[in-house]
Amino acid sequence: MKPLFGTTRGIGALSVMAGLAVVVLLFLFPRFVENTYALHIMILIFISIIMGSSWNLLGGYTGQYSVGHAAYFGMGAYTTMMLMQFRQVPPWLGIWCGMAAALVVALIIGSICFRLRGPYFVLASIAVAEIFRVSALNLKNVTNGAEGILTTEIPPLKIGGTLITDFSSKVPFYYAGLAFVLLVIMITWLLQNSKLGYYFQAIREDQDAAHSLGISLTFYKNAALSLSAVLTSLAGSLYAVYVGFIDPSTVLALDLSVQIVLICIIGGIGTIFGPVIGALVLVPLSEALRSNMIGESLINSGIVKADSAFGSFLTENLSHAHVLIYGVLVVVVILFMPDGVLGFAKALAARKRKEVV
């Protein structure tokens, strides 16, 4: 009988070498790049990859499109921050508590919401996230309400009396984010090539057919949600400790849930590296819009005149139009790249190979 996490398919030596080279370069990145803004962007990309890959386990491989994953992100963020700020529990222990809390919540939510299918499940997931957001706003004695929680000091990490880091720079957060990304990608790879992953994909393709073959829909859907929620809470904990401030409108917002889904849609749903591609597209785009870098570049290059109506729009409104840009981007991807950027690249490469032959 094949084990639940069985043997994996062979991977080409070239792919392995390329992957190892990328990992080595990422580990060396902070040694050669001292720009704090570049490190900041990389940390945000790592957090986005963790979020997207976590959602991908449920939405991409199991076919359960949740638009409420901000609940688990916020669960990790709030648990870690409350323990650190109010109980002086260091974040590397609070993260585990956040993961445990997300697991319990996911099991409760899954036992209720997985009675629904399709758009009804999507609406239920949105409702769950909104319940958590409103609760965090109103439970002021617990979560500090709309004022949020601000970190005053992160305790230094010591092992056996030896100081490992005092978190005074962005480098520790960079390496923590990179380690979490590698962990999530490894879990996704193991899952995709395992018996458990085949069960997930069978449920995604046809739930009734999977049930007729003896696959327990409730059990495996809850397994996918639990794993997805735990890893999403990991991203929330890292974000909270890194930024040092959280509130309901930041870590429990609906647009955060939508952004998590967009990472996978743009990159490629149901693939290992789709969320990586999606994060590499969305995070720089978001930062460029926030800092109005796109508008300034168009004006400085002379493509758009600063005193024109369009130039004024770019200067005054583009930094607030990220939702509009996201919407346009999703429409373009759905129309021209239904399998995401990664799927489009693979199809283009296959077409080129056929032309060569």
Q: What is the spatial distance between Cα 56 and Cα 224, in angstroms, rounded to a whole number?
A: 10
Angle between helices 171-192 and 13-32 (to 10 degrees): 170
Per-residue pLDDT of the chain in tens (357 residues, 90 and over written 9):
444 444 444 456 777 788 889 999 999 999 998 899 999 999 999 999 999 999 999 999 999 999 999 999 999 999 999 999 998 899 999 999 999 999 999 999 999 999 898 899 999 999 999 999 999 999 999 999 999 999 878 888 888 778 888 888 899 999 999 999 999 999 999 999 899 999 999 999 999 999 999 999 999 999 999 999 999 999 999 999 999 999 999 999 998 999 999 999 999 999 999 999 999 999 998 888 777 776 677 677 777 777 777 667 666 666 666 677 777 888 888 888 888 888 888 888 888 888 776
Burial of residue 186, with CB atoms counted within 10 A of its CB: 0-12 exposed, 13-18 middle, 19 or more buried: exposed
Dihedral of CA atoms 126, 127, 129, 135 in degrees, nearest 10, equals 160
The predicted model scores a pTM of: 0.90
Q: Is 350 exposed, middle or buried (0-12, 13-18, 19+ CB in 10 A)?
A: exposed
**255, 257, 260, 264 alpha-carbon torsion, rounded to 10°:** -110
